[in-house]
Amino acid sequence: MSQLQADIVRLTRSEVDIKITKGERMHVLQWRRTLFWDAVLLDGKRQAHSAGLWGREKVYGLVFGRDREGRGGERVMFVVDPRDLGWSGLQEQVAGVRLEAADGPILAYGTLDPKNLEKPSTFSDWMKKQMGMEW
């Protein structure tokens, strides 16, 4: 059985598109944010929905490859941190995205990347991380 692999295709303030491959099969995972709801789509079909102005769901469970009765398949967890990362180039982006299977992370970006949780070992490392300063 081949492993899932994922790549971010598009990342903006209200849209995340991820290409997921397993062997020769490819899927498109999409997250969309509007004023009143968030939606997760897999291959164009809505898998999850979260509505409201505040406190919307940020963690979603998905299953790849299950049969018609809903058995089997590979379970994955999709997490999105919708806080604005700030202006990056010409458009704003979400702060973090993570796609994880039972074996571990398939894709991790931004605030949800484990590397961002590591504490700096020296003051100089802290300055580089906090302010982007290098000398």
CATH of the domain at 105: 2.40.128
**Residue 25 domain flag:** yes
**Residue 17 pLDDT more than 90?**
yes
- Yes or no: say if 128 and 121 are a contact pair by the CB < 8 Å rule: no
Number of domains in the chain: 1
Q: Which residue has better confidence, 91 or 128?
A: 128
Question: Is residue 39 a contact partner of residue 125, using CB atoms and an 8 Å limit?
Answer: no
Is 30 contained in some domain? yes
Is 57 inside a domain boundary?
A: yes
Residue 129 lies in a domain: no
- How far is residue 126's CA from residue 135's CA, in Å, rounded to a whole number? 13
84, 13 Cβ separation under 8 angstroms: yes
119, part of any domain: no
Is the residue at 64 inside a domain? yes
CB 48 within 8 A of CB 31: no
How does pLDDT run across 84-93, given as a tens digit for each residue? Answer: 655 555 457 7
pTM of the predicted model as reported, rounded to 2 decimal places: 0.77
State whether residue 64 is helix, strand or coil: strand
Domain that holds residue 73: 4-110
d(CA 92, CA 85): 7
State pLDDT tens for residues 41-67.
999 999 999 998 888 889 999 887 778
